[in-house]
Amino acid sequence: MTTSAAARPLMVLRDLSKRYDSSAGSLMALDGINLEVQAGEFVAVVGKSGSGKSTLLNLASGIDTPSSGEVWIDGAAVHGMRQSELARWRGRHLGIVFQFFQLLPTLTVAENVMLPMDFCATYPARQRRARALALLEQLDIGAQTDKLPSALSGGQQQRAAIARALANDAPILVADEPTGNLDSDTTRQIMQLFAGLVEQGKTVLMVTHERDFSEYFTRVVTLADGRIGSIGAPRDGVAGFDTSANRVRHA
Ligand SMILES: Nc1ncnc2c1ncn2[C@@H]1O[C@H](COP(=O)(O)OP(=O)(O)OP(=O)(O)O)[C@@H](O)[C@H]1O
């Protein structure tokens, strides 16, 4: 993709570290991460289990706080925000998609999609249901709107979760193994859906183990032991997913 020299990155992670302290000891889960994500990118985060992928996403999305370092999103210092302001700010700027969907089981699909709009008051109350239905229609689950999540297939639940992530029209989608619980056909559909959203202007940061979709990604960030081992362009190929110990490339 082309970016002008003056373009400000949509997301900046600067010297980001996370230490977990427990009775079992201290663990440096992330150590000195530097990453800039431009608007319109589809960035995949890959690496072995325990390499720090989810921790990186949780810090980048303000779900968790760094031990040191900075997270800037659209010019805002996320690392400096109070918890009270962070939740609403996050709701407006980030849509988050999880492996296990995390839909509220006692609310209908439409009500789940309306939740971020209710929480952040991004749209007038009288418009929220219509917007939820339009998103669900766009994601091909318009017929499921008034069902409980448990009545939907895994793929349909993930579509509902993506609709919820899109509810506030946030510019960034953060997804932690969104296809990790789906069969291969559904995985393809969901990855194509994310690629389509990027084409429509969204920016996506995704933890994934999916090797077959590297052509969708603008960059592949490989984590190893809490550090960035490599940042590769997709043309570097599936090697971006090679997490073997000595495979280190530099962009
Ligand atoms: N809340 C926590 N308290 C203590 N240690 C944690 C906590 N969360 C994660 N860790 C540890 O930090 C390291 C990085 O974990 P993280 O979940 O980010 O890895 P991951 O690459 O996402 O792994 P996976 O692919 O298995 O989901 C691991 O050693 C993990 O055990």
**Cα 47 to averaged position of ligand 1 atoms, centre (Å):** 12
Q: Tell me the CA–centroid distance for residue 24 and ligand 1, in Å.
A: 14
In a domain, 202, yes or no: yes
Residue 164 forms part of a structural domain: no
DSSP string, 216-244: G-SEEEEEETTEEEEEE-GGGGGGGG---
pLDDT at 242 over 70: no
- The predicted pLDDT at position 6 comes to 56
What's the average model confidence in pLDDT over 176-194? 93
Residue 251 inside a domain? The answer is no
Asked whether the beta carbons of 47 and 230 are under 8 A apart, the reply is no
Q: Give the model's pLDDT for residue 211.
A: 75
Q: What is the pLDDT of residues 34-68, one digit of tens each?
A: 999 999 999 999 999 999 999 999 999 999 999 99
Secondary structure (H, E, C), 36-96: EECCCCEEEEEECCCCCHHHHHHHHCCCCCCCEEEEEECCEEHHHCCHHHHHHHHHHHEEE
Q: Facing residues of 172 across strands?
A: 94, 203
Q: Which residue has the higher pLDDT, 243 or 75?
A: 75
Q: Considering the domain boundaries, does residue 138 fall inside one?
A: no
Q: What's the number of domains the chain is made of?
A: 1
What separation in Å is there between the alpha carbon of 50 and the centre of ligand 1? 5
What's the rounded mean pLDDT across residues 174-194? 93
179 three-class SS: coil
Amino acid identity of residue 156, one-letter, is Q
Amino acid 249: pLDDT:
31
Which ligand 1 atom sits nearest the alpha carbon of residue 58?
18
Which ligand 1 atom is at minimum distance from the Cα of 55?
A: 18
40 falls within a domain: yes
Ligand 1 centroid to residue 226 C-alpha, Å: 10
State pTM to two decimals.
0.90
Residue with tokens 């280190």: 248
Mean pLDDT, rounded, for 100-122: 97
pLDDT exceeding 70 applies to what percent of the chain? 90
Q: Is 26 in the pocket of ligand 1 (CB under 6 A)?
A: no
- Tell me, yes or no, whether 186 lies in a domain: yes
Residue 65 falls in which region: left (phi positive, over 0), alpha (psi -120 to 50) or beta? beta
Please, which residues bridge with residue 26 across strands? 21
Mean pLDDT of 96-108: 96
pLDDT over threshold 60, residue 241: no
In the reported structure, the alpha carbon of residue 127 is separated from the centroid of ligand 1 by a whole-number distance in angstroms of: 40
Domain assignment of residue 205, given as a range: 11-102+170-241
> Could you tell me what percent of the chain has a pLDDT over 90?
82
The encoded tokens of residue 7 equal 């373009």
Q: What are phi and psi of 46, to 5 degrees?
A: -125, 170
Nearest CA residue ID for atom 2, ligand 1: 20
Q: pLDDT tier at 240 (50, 70, 90 boundaries)?
A: very low
Alpha carbon nearest to ligand 1 atom 24, residue? 49
The ipTM (two decimal places) reads 0.98
How far are the Cα atoms of 10, 146, 190 from residue 113, in angstroms, in the given order? 25, 11, 17
Q: Look at residue 248 and tell me whether its pLDDT is greater than 60.
A: no
Q: CA 229, CA 242: separation in Å to the nearest integer?
A: 11
Would the CB of 52 count as within 6 Å of ligand 1?
yes
User: Residue 58's domain is classified under what CATH number?
Assistant: 3.40.50.300
CA distances from 215 to 15, 38, 210, 220, 242 (A): 29, 18, 11, 10, 15
Instruction: Look at residue 175 and tell me if it is in a domain.
Output: yes
54 lines ligand 1 (CB under 6 A): yes
- pLDDT for 235: 57
Is residue 132 one of the residues assigned to a domain? no
Report which of 62, 18, 60 is spatially closest to residue 43, judged by C-alpha positions: 60
Q: Is 31's C-beta closer than 6 angstroms to any atom of ligand 1?
A: no
